[in-house]
Structure 1
Amino acid sequence: MKWLLLVPHALILLALWVAFWLSSLFALVAIVITGRYPRALFDFNLGVLRWSWRVGFYAYSALGTDRYPPFSLGEEPDYPARLDIAYPAHLSRGLALVKWWLLALPHYLILAILFSGGTWFSWRLGETGWAMGGSVVGLIVLVTGIVLAVTGSYPRPLFDLLVGFSRWALRVVGYAALMTDRYPPFRLDLGGEEPSRPTGPAEPATPGPAERPMPV
C-alpha cells in the first residue's frame, strides 16, 4: 500500500526536482563566477535531497520504516532516515564545469546497473519461454518485501545492503549537484551510522561541521 500512500509526496517531489535542477544550474553559474555556492540554493537543494531520501527510505529504496515521511525540506532529526551535507566555504570553478558529467560518469554507469537494470533471468521449456528483467536494487527490495510480508521481520543483511546502495547514490547526486568537491568513494557503507570520517592518518580530536555524518 505504500505506493498509494505516497502519491501526494510524488506529486510534490516532481515539482521540487524540477526546481532542484534549475537551482543547480543557477548554482553552476554562481560557482564559476564567484567560487561559492549560494547558501539559499544550497539549503533548498539539501532539503529536496532530505525529503527524497525520507520518502525512498519509507518506500521502495529500502522499506526501512512504517513511519510516514513528513512533508518537509527541513532536517527532521527525529525521523529514522537523515541526511546532511556540510556547506562548502569554497568550490573549484574548474571542477564545476566537468564533475557533474565527466568525473561522475563512472559512478553513473555503476548506479545505472544497480538501480535501473542489469539483472536478467530467463527460463525456457519446450517451445515456450519467459523472461524477467529488473535492477539489482529492485530485486533486493522485492525479496525484502516478500520476507517482510511472510515473517514481519527485516533481515539485517538486506537492510544494510539497501542502505549502502542508497548512500552511494546520494553521495553521487550531491557531487553532481555541485554541493561538494570531494569525490564520492566507490564503496558501500552498510547499515547503521555512516562513518563520519575516513580512516587514515591522525585527525583533529573534535570534528568540525564538514565532518558530520550522514546517519540513517
Structure 2
Amino acid sequence: MSSSTPFTPRASTPEGRPYPVHVRARLDGPLSRWLWLVKWLLIVPHVLVLIPLWIGFALLTLVALVAIVFTGRYPRPLFDFNLGVLRWSWRVGFYAYSALGTDRYPPFTLAAVPGYPAGLDIEYPERLHRGLVLVKWLLAIPHLLILGVMFGGGGWLSGQAGDQAWTWGGGLAGLLVLISAIILAFTGRYSGPLFDLIVGLNRWEQRVIGYVALMTDRYPPFRLDLGGEDPDRPPGPDAPTTEPASHLTPPAPAGI
C-alpha cells in the first residue's frame, strides 16, 4: 500500500454501508526495472486458462440471471465460481499491465490467496431484486462511458486477460501504467502517487463489473478511491496477511 494515501475509515455510500465490492492491492518492492518488458510473455499460460474461464463466467451469469428472476437469489456455487474468475483475473492484471504492482507470479487458482499483494472480495447477497437484473446493463451505461475513457474502450475482460496483455490496453489507465514502467526502468522505483491512481481506476472498474455481473444490487459510486487499501477495510478471505512493502525501497538491480 502506498504511504501517500493513509487509511481513514468511512462509509462508502449514502446509505452508510460499505460498498460490497472490495479491491485491495499492495505495492511490492523492490521491483525489477526490466521484468515488465516480458510480462506479456510470462502471463500467456494464465491467458490461455482465463479465456475458457471467462466464457464460463458469461454463461453462468446468464444462468444466474434466470435464477434471480425466478427466485431472487444468486446460486451460491455460481457466485463463488464467478468471484474466483474475477479474483484470478485481478491478480494477473495487477502483476501485468493493469498495474505492474508486483513481480510475484500470480497463482493458478480461483480461491482467495491471502498472502498475494492483490485481492478482491464481493459480499454474497442473500436477496436480489428480480426485475433489476434485466436492466442493470442499461443503468450502468454512464459508468461504462467513463470506463471507456479510463481504459480506452478495451473493456475489463480484454484489458485483464487479452488485448491489454499484448498492447498495453489504452486510455488513461494504460498511459499511467506505461509512465510508471518508464519511471521504474530509469529510477528503480514505482511512483507512489501513480500507483494510488492506477489502483483507484481499477477499483472503479471492478465495482462496475460486480454490478453488471449481477453480483450486487448496490449501484456503484461515481468516485475514485485512491490507494491500495479498500476505503472501508472490510475483513475478508482475500485480505493480505503480510506487511506492505514501501515504494521507497532501494532501486532494484538493473537486470531482470
Q: TM-score scaled to structure 2, two decimals?
A: 0.70
**Superposed CA offset, 1:18-52 (max 9, x none):** 10010100000000000000000000000000000
**Superposed CA offset, 1:151-205 (max 9, x none):** 11011000000000000000000100000001111111111311227xxxxxxxx
Residue of 133, 138, 150 corresponding to 1:102: 138
What is the Cα deviation at residue 215 of structure 1?
Answer: 5.8
What is the Cα deviation at residue 116 of structure 1?
Answer: 1.3
Structure 2: distance between partners of 1:135 and 1:112: 8
Structure 2: distance between partners of 1:157 and 1:75: 27
Structure 1 gap ranges (5+): 118-132, 198-210
Match of 2:227 in 1: 191
Residue of 174, 183, 203 corresponding to 2:210: 174
Q: Is residue 101 of structure 2 the alignment partner of residue 64 of structure 1? A: yes
Does structure 2 conserve the Cα–Cα contact (< 8 Å) formed by 1:36 and 1:90?
Answer: yes
- How many residues align structurally? 187
The sequence identity of aligned pairs, in percent, is: 69
What is the Cα deviation at residue 212 of structure 1?
Answer: 4.4
Structure 2: distance between partners of 1:116 and 1:215: 30
Provide the secondary structure at the position in 1 that maps to 2:105: coil
Does structure 1 conserve the Cα–Cα contact (< 8 Å) formed by 2:114 and 2:239?
Answer: no
Provide the secondary structure at the position in 2 that maps to 1:82: strand
Does structure 2 conserve the Cα–Cα contact (< 8 Å) formed by 1:86 and 1:212?
Answer: no
What is the Cα deviation at residue 104 of structure 1?
Answer: 0.6
Residue of 155, 158, 168 corresponding to 2:194: 158
Match of 1:7 in 2: 44
Provide the secondary structure at the position in 2 that maps to 1:189: coil
Does structure 2 conserve the Cα–Cα contact (< 8 Å) formed by 1:114 and 1:137?
Answer: yes
Does structure 2 conserve the Cα–Cα contact (< 8 Å) formed by 1:116 and 1:135?
Answer: yes
Q: TM-score scaled to structure 1, two decimals?
A: 0.83
Higher relative contact order (CA 8 A, sep 6+): 2
Q: Is residue 183 of structure 2 the alignment partner of residue 111 of structure 1? A: no
Provide the secondary structure at the position in 2 that maps to 1:84: strand
Match of 1:139 in 2: 175
Structure 1: distance between partners of 2:170 and 2:176: 10
Which aligned runs of 4 or more in structure 1 are off by greater than 3 angstroms?
Answer: 211-216
Does structure 1 conserve the Cα–Cα contact (< 8 Å) formed by 2:57 and 2:82?
Answer: yes
Query: Of Structure 1 and Structure 2, which has the larger fraction of its residues in helix?
Result: 1
Structure 2: distance between partners of 1:59 and 1:134: 14
